[in-house]
Amino acid sequence: MSDPVSRTILLLDIEKYSDRDDVEQAYLRRMLYDITDRALESAGVDETLRLRADRGDSVMELIDANASVTALLRALLTDVPAELRAVNRMASRSAQIRLRAVLATGYVAVDELDGWVGSDLNHACRLLDGEVLRAALRESGDDFALCVSESVYAGIVRHDRTGVPAADFHAVTVDSKNGPLRAWLHGTAPRGADDRGHTQNHSERGPGGSPAPDGGSGERPAPGGSQGDAAPPQAAAPQGAAQGGVVITFNGGSPSFGGSFVAGDQHGVSGGRVTGDVHLGGSGSGLGTGSGSGAAAGSGGESA
Domains, the chain, ranges and CATH?
Answer: 5-199 (3.30.70.1230), 241-294 (no CATH)
The angle at the Cα of 20, spanning 19 to 21, to the nearest 5 degrees, equals 130
Q: How far apart are CA 241 and CA 264, in angstroms?
A: 9
Q: 43 CB contacts (<8 Å, ≥6 apart)?
A: 67, 68, 71, 72, 74, 75
- What pLDDT score was predicted for residue 265? 54
Predicted pLDDT of residue 125 = 95
Nearest Cα to 186, choosing from 208, 213, 211, 163? 163
| The pLDDT value given to residue 117 | 92
- Tell me what the mean pLDDT of segment 138-154 comes to: 95
Of the chain, the percentage scoring pLDDT greater than 90 comes to 53
pTM score of the predicted model: 0.64
Per-residue pLDDT of 168-212, as tens digits, reads 999 999 988 878 999 999 998 887 665 433 333 333 344 334 333
Checking if the pLDDT of 93 tops 50, the result is yes
Question: Residue 254 and residue 114: Cα distance in Å, rounded?
Answer: 70
Answer whether residue 285 shows pLDDT above 80: no
Q: What's the count of helices (H) and strands (E) in the chain, helices before strands?
A: 6, 15
Mean pLDDT within 85-104: 94
Whole-Å CA distances, 165 to 13, 155, 162, 183, 189: 24, 13, 7, 16, 16
